[in-house]
Amino acid sequence: MVIYPDFYFDNVRDVKLEFLQKNNIKGLILDIDNTLIDFDRKFEDGTEQWVDDLKKAGVKFCIVSNTNKVDKVKYVAETLDIPYFYFSKKPFKKGFMKAKDEMGLKVENIAAIGDQIMTDVIGANRCKMFSILVKPIAEKDIFITRIKRPIENIIIKRYLKKKEKEKV
């Protein structure tokens, strides 16, 4: 089981077109909670613009969320105008693969972006997609995420150490 992300960014908007082109990434699978919106369903400034700009450059998008709250997923998907799958049971592969088919791309041309290693990163890695971990938008989070976060922090620390060593 590969627990490390391929890449680690502060937020989704730091994932730029040049970076995608360099890695031959043509489609992005997006997590919702704490990746696109906070606990109050609020987008961070610039997120819609980020999606629009990448779309204009030909990048495809699909939402894959574990939430069962369909109204929330619909609100996000309609705001950004991208297709969605919800109640996806990440890290199981099914949701990721449905998104792959929806975008009509190969796994090696897809990156999945999310704030959780246990669901987003491991799921993407299992599918042989790129995994991009972002910092969670809000610290006030649902209970289950709070339980997982200490594990996340340990893995991120190890990941950054590993990257640092690779640079030398």
Positions in the binding site for Mg ion (CB under 5 A): 31, 33-35, 115
CB nearer to Mg ion: pick between 14 and 17: 14
Minimum distance of Mg ion from residue 167's CB (angstroms): 29
User: Which residue in the shown chain puts its C-beta closest to Mg ion?
Assistant: 33
Minimum distance of Mg ion from residue 33's CB (angstroms): 4
CB nearer to Mg ion: pick between 23 and 67: 67
Minimum distance of Mg ion from residue 145's CB (angstroms): 7
Dihedral, CA of residue 80, residue 86, residue 90 and residue 94, to nearest 10? -100
Smallest CA-to-CA distance from 3 within 106, 154, 161 is with: 154
CB nearer to Mg ion: pick between 11 and 35: 35
Tell me the torsion sign for CA atoms 103, 40, 124, 9.
positive
Q: Identify the burial level of 167 via C-beta atoms within 10 angstroms of its C-beta, where 0-12 means exposed, 13-18 middle and 19 or more buried.
A: exposed
